[in-house]
Amino acid sequence: MMRSFIKFADTLSTSMGKAFSWCIVILMGGTCYEVIMAYAFNNPTLWNFDFSLQMYGAIFMMAGAYCLSTEAHVRGDVLYRLFPTRVQGWIDLILYFLFFFPGVIALAFYGYEYAALAWKIKETSWNSPAQIQIYMAKSMIPLSGTLLTIQGISEVFRAIICIRTGSWPQRLSADAEETEKVLMRTSQKDDKADVI
């Protein structure tokens, strides 16, 4: 059951992260359009600044679970990596309950209230001369909190499996990997090639 939930969470987080990564292309298009309008036609837009903020916000909010599923978040593991894997599992398990879940669950619940109010009043940007609507963008706050909670449960299951078996379960996606791991794997391949 735990392994199937891990697979589900990793698939969900990866698909959402990759889907929202296309916001970079949209953002680049909007920025190019603004530069052309401002410098070639001397007619800058009123909406592009807020549009850029919303695209950046979408990328940032929706990439959190994806980063967690691929171990791409910044981690201070100077001492952590020296511990046996079962100890690492216990550390992860404890820290997820102490620090991770209180924050992301609050993000999901209070973000829902925040987004619901924005939808109710059809909130627009107060600092935009174009009065761009932002209530749709605020919906990403509880959505990202929910995705992070699902991925966090998956990470807790990974820690439990690690504590039981002594090894970490395989990750679905290897889009991001620490340079140290890549170098160690390359070095091991070179050592094996030298032996042969």
* Residue 136 pLDDT: 86
CA–CA dist 22, 63 (Å, integer)? 11
Tokens matching residue 103 = 């924050």
Backbone angles phi, psi at 133, to 5 degrees: -75, 135
Query: What's the number of domains the chain is made of?
Result: 1
Over residues 83-91, the mean pLDDT reads 94
185 within domain boundaries: no
The C-alpha torsion from 107 through 105 and 110 to 74, rounded to 10°, is -10
* Least reliable range by pLDDT among 54-63, 103-112, 164-173, 185-194: 185-194
How would residue 178 be classed by pLDDT, with cut points 50, 70 and 90?
low
195 within domain boundaries: no
* Residue 85 pLDDT: 92
Residue 109 is part of which domain span? Answer: 2-174
Tokens matching residue 178 = 């620490």
pLDDT at residue 5 tops 90: yes
Tokens matching residue 47 = 């909406």
64 within domain boundaries: yes
Over residues 86-101, the mean pLDDT reads 95
* Residue 144 pLDDT: 95
CA distances from 147 to 9, 38, 77, 164 (A): 8, 38, 24, 26
93 within domain boundaries: yes
89 within domain boundaries: yes
Give residue 22's identity as a one-letter amino acid code.
W
Q: Which residue did the predictor score with more confidence, 30 or 178?
A: 30
114 burial level (CB within 10 Å; 0-12, 13-18, 19+) = middle
CA–CA dist 181, 11 (Å, integer)? 23
CA–CA dist 164, 161 (Å, integer)? 5
CA–CA dist 178, 191 (Å, integer)? 20
How would residue 135 be classed by pLDDT, with cut points 50, 70 and 90?
confident
Over residues 114-134, the mean pLDDT reads 84
pLDDT at residue 27 tops 70: yes
181 within domain boundaries: no
